[in-house]
A and B are shown apart, each in its own frame.
Chain A
Amino acid sequence: MAEAQKIITSSDVHLFYGKFEALKGINLDFNQHEITALIGPSGCGKSTYLRTLNRMNDLIPDVTITGTISLRGQNIYAPSEDVVQLRKQVGMVFQQPNPFPFSIYENVIYGLRLAGVKDKRELDEAVETSLKQAAIWDEVKDHLHDSALSLSGGQQQRVCIARVLAVKPDVILLDEPTSALDPISSTQIENMLLGLRDQYTIILVTHSMHQASRISDKTAFFLTGNLIEFADTKQMFLNPKEKETEDYITGRFG
Chain B
Amino acid sequence: MEEPTTFERHVYKNASVYHYMKISLDLENGKRSFSDAQFKQLIISALKELYGEVGAAFPFDLLKFDPSSLKAILRVYNKGLVKLWSALTLLGSYQNEACAFRVIQVSPFLLALSGNSRELQFGESLTS
- State yes or no: do A and B come from one complex: no
